[in-house]
Chain A
Amino acid sequence: MQEFFHMGGYAFFVWSSYGLTALVLIFSVIVASRRKKKIFKEIEDSFED
């Protein structure tokens, strides 16, 4: 297991690459689904005016 995380000495480069990729891909989906809720809320609020 430790060997797996060590990546033959390339741990920093391999895991930074995967970490950055995961971060960007997950973050983009979260931002997009939050935007949907925000738009729904804005439209709902406009009903009360």
Chain B
Amino acid sequence: MWSFLHKLSSPKYYYEWSGKWIPWLGALTLILMGIGLYWGLVIAPPDYQQGEGYRIIYVHVPAAWMSMFVYVVMAVAGVIGLIWKIKLAEIVVAECASIGAAFTALALMTGMLWGKPMWGTYWVWDARLTSELILLFLYLGVIAIYSAIEDPRTAAKAAAIFAIVGVINIPIIHYSVVWWNTLHQGATVTKLDSPSAHPSMLIPLLIMAFAFKAYFVWLLFIRARNEILSRERSTNWVKKLVAAS
């Protein structure tokens, strides 16, 4: 395990290793998305309160979960980058910021599109929505640090510290529906002992969640590979690689 992680920290090794995985991750994403979409849109029954409108859940909840998951990945990569000065970890922080911002924007937008028909409004300044909006700003903050500081290693350090401090927002988002009175409904799935969603709705939701996770890893691998290629462009292995193509 450690020797594998050590090897992975070499840009050349990561480039070759990720190249093997990328097509499989793409295939896995497409298969899971296909099954999840068909199940969620066609097979799953309508909700007894929200009718067909609840089907937004199959994109909204996976996007919202990913918005938090990616943030944690980014912060962990930030810690690894700060302690061991591993270039790949620094790259993961930067790529996670872009991907996470996209998931957060999707969670917010699909949430607004769900809120309008069910609550009668696109937006309320309640705890869940506000803390998710803050998450978007945290991601944008990391992106801004990278574009403001020219030296990539200094930028990585600043961005990592910023990302790590921002982790405090993650439990706030998760528990916001418990700690404050909010329009947003409480947890349905993560109540581990007794999820309140019926299996006919829960299974497609979990499939979509895995599809989003596979998509994230897929896109992260592609983007990190690009970044490595770009940063290592003056090295011999990259020159050889390009010459051979």
Interface positions, chain B 191-245, Cβ under 8 Å from A, are: 215, 218-219, 222-223, 225-226, 229-230, 233, 238-239, 242-243, 245
For A47, the chain B residues whose CB sits under 8 A away are 239, 242-243
Contact of B106 with A by CB under 8 A: yes
Contact string against B for A residues 31-42, beta-carbon threshold 8 Å, 1 for contact and 0 otherwise: 011011001101
Contact of B116 with A by CB under 8 A: yes
Closest to B95 in A: A32
Interface positions, chain A 2-33, Cβ under 8 Å from B, are: 4, 7-10, 13-14, 16-18, 20-21, 24-25, 28-29, 32-33
Contact of B186 with A by CB under 8 A: no
A7 CA to B99 CA, complexed, in Å: 30
B234 nearest CB across to chain A (Å): 9
Q: Across the interface, do A16 and B233 meet the contact criterion of CB distance under 8 Å?
A: no
Contact string against A for B residues 105-117, beta-carbon threshold 8 Å, 1 for contact and 0 otherwise: 1100110011011
Q: Across the interface, do A32 and B222 meet the contact criterion of CB distance under 8 Å?
A: yes
A24 nearest CB across to chain B (Å): 5
A2 nearest CB across to chain B (Å): 13
Binding site for B on A (CB under 8 A): 4, 7-10, 13-14, 16-18, 20-21, 24-25, 28-29, 32-33, 35-36, 39-40, 42-44, 46-47
Q: Across the interface, do B226 and A13 meet the contact criterion of CB distance under 8 Å?
A: no
* Cβ-defined partner of B51 (8 Å) among A8, A20, A36, A43: A8
Q: Across the interface, do B222 and A17 meet the contact criterion of CB distance under 8 Å?
A: no
Interface positions, chain B 36-65, Cβ under 8 Å from A, are: 41-42, 46, 51-53, 55-56, 59-60, 63
Q: Across the interface, do A14 and B242 meet the contact criterion of CB distance under 8 Å?
A: no
Across the A-B interface, how many residue pairs have beta carbons closer than 8 Å?
84
Q: Across the interface, do A13 and B114 meet the contact criterion of CB distance under 8 Å?
A: yes
Given A10-B52, A10-B117, A14-B56, are A20 and B226 neighbors across the interface (CB < 8 Å)?
no
Closest to A25 in B: B215
Chief secondary structure at chain A's binding surface: helix
Query: What size tier do the contact residues of chain B reach?
Result: 35 or more
For A40, the chain B residues whose CB sits under 8 A away are 229, 242, 245
B105 nearest CB across to chain A (Å): 7
Q: Across the interface, do A17 and B110 meet the contact criterion of CB distance under 8 Å?
A: yes
Q: Across the interface, do A16 and B105 meet the contact criterion of CB distance under 8 Å?
A: no
Contact of B102 with A by CB under 8 A: yes
A17 CA to B60 CA, complexed, in Å: 8
Q: Across the interface, do B238 and A43 meet the contact criterion of CB distance under 8 Å?
A: yes
Closest to B52 in A: A8
For A25, the chain B residues whose CB sits under 8 A away are 215
Given A9-B51, A29-B219, A36-B225, are A18 and B59 neighbors across the interface (CB < 8 Å)?
yes
